[in-house]
């Protein structure tokens, strides 16, 4: 048996403020720090051992990974980072409050920007200081690789090649892997692994800081998936994510 553990980063300060974050690099909130530590404690209690972990280029995911590994006494293991695990780029929405934006433009419009499969938000301008081309961590990427906005479809298109070329082969070789990333980059992977339809994935929400386990047999056939947590609590947290863009 091979196990892939997906963890959406702990609550960030912009999660707490209900803002669209995307590629904006913001830290974990105090609650997010505690969520990450608890995730590490849960994984240790369940007997998980990792020799390799993956994360994005964004601080909130990296810090979540570090805190989990610290709780597991595994800070020595190899980490691999990729921009392909970054959150969906929310374009001009980045930094805006979701509920206030819904009040201004309507819940239906904001729901489309958040959850449409192939309709991205309005893109950033070339000279916008939020454009990733000004960020040194992306200096080695070509202009056509750097998004100014993204839909889930485009996240899938950048994420799946990394799954096929890097994460999947490592899982086959290592046995158990840990991935700390983001709501939409993980949803892209979940859609692929479970063969979900566009309609199904658009309704699927991943709460922060809860380990999400995928089990595979030795031939890498998907067997089952489950969250490590109280089912009722996980359900409430998933509903909380779904309701973030309701007008107040």
- Pick left, alpha or beta for residue 230 (phi over 0 → left; psi -120 to 50 → alpha; otherwise beta): beta
Q: Give yes or no: 79 in active site.
A: no
What pLDDT sits at residue 88?
Answer: 97
Report how far residue 57's alpha carbon sits from residue 79's, in angstroms, rounded to the nearest whole number.
Answer: 12
The dihedral built from the CA positions of residue 141, 143, 148 and 152, taken in this order, carries a sign that is negative
Those residues with Cβ within 8 angstroms of residue 29's Cβ, 6 or more apart along the chain or in another chain: 10, 11, 12, 13, 15, 16
The per-residue pLDDT for 190 is 98
The predicted structure's pLDDT at residue 247:
56
Rounded Cα–Cα distance for residues 58 and 183 (Å): 13
Radius of gyration of the chain (CA): 17
Say what the pLDDT of residue 218 is: 92
- Work out the average pLDDT over 211-237: 94
Residue 195 pLDDT > 80, yes or no? yes
Q: Confidence class of residue 110 from pLDDT cuts 50, 70 and 90? A: confident
Q: Which band of pLDDT confidence, cut at 50, 70 and 90, is reported for residue 246?
A: low
Range in 107-121, 126-140, 160-174 with the lowest mean pLDDT: 107-121
What average pLDDT does the chain have?
Answer: 94
Q: Please, which pLDDT band fits residue 248 given cuts at 50, 70 and 90? A: low
Q: Answer for the pair 163, 136: CB distance below 8 angstroms, yes or no.
A: no
Query: What is the structure's pLDDT at 245?
Result: 56
Active site residue 9: yes
pLDDT tens, residue by residue, 44-88: 999 999 999 999 999 999 999 999 999 999 999 999 999 999 999
Non-local CB neighbours of 104 within 8 Å, separated by 6+ positions: none
**Rounded percentage of the chain residues whose pLDDT exceeds 70:** 98
**Model-wide pTM > 0.85:** yes
Regarding beta strands 52-55 and 176-181, do their DSSP bridges make them parallel or antiparallel, or are they unpaired?
parallel
Q: Choose the catalytic residue: 87, 89, 150, 182.
A: 87
What is the predicted pLDDT for the residue at 78?
98
């Amino acid at each position: 048996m091979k196990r892939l553990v997906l963890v959406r980063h702990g609550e960030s300060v912009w999660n707490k403020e209900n803002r669209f974050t995307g590629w904006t690099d913001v830290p974990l909130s105090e609650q997010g720090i505690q969520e990450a530590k608890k995730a590490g404690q849960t994984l240790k209690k369940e007997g998980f051992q990792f020799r390799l972990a993956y994360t994005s280029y964004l601080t909130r995911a990296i810090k979540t990974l570090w805190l989990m590994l610290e709780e597991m006494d595994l800070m020595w293991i190899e980490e691999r980072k990729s921009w392909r695990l970054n959150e969906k780029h929310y374009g001009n929405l980045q930094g805006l409050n979701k509920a206030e934006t819904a009040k201004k433009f309507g819940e239906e419009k904001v729901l489309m920007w958040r959850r449409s499969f192939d309709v991205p938000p309005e893109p950033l301008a070339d000279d916008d200081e939020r454009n990733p081309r000004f960020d040194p961590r992306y200096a080695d990427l070509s202009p056509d690789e750097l998004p100014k906005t993204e839909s889930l479809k485009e996240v899938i298109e950048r994420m799946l090649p990394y799954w096929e070329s890097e994460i999947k082969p490592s899982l086959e070789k290592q046995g158990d892997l840990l991935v700390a990333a983001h709501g939409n980059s993980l949803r892209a992977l979940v859609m692929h692994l479970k063969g979900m339809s566009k309609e199904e994935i658009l309704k699927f929400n991943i709460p922060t800081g809860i380990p999400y386990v995928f089990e595979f047999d030795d031939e890498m056939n998907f067997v089952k998936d489950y969250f490590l947590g109280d089912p009722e609590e996980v359900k409430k947290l998933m509903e909380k994510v779904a309701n973030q863009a309701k007008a107040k």
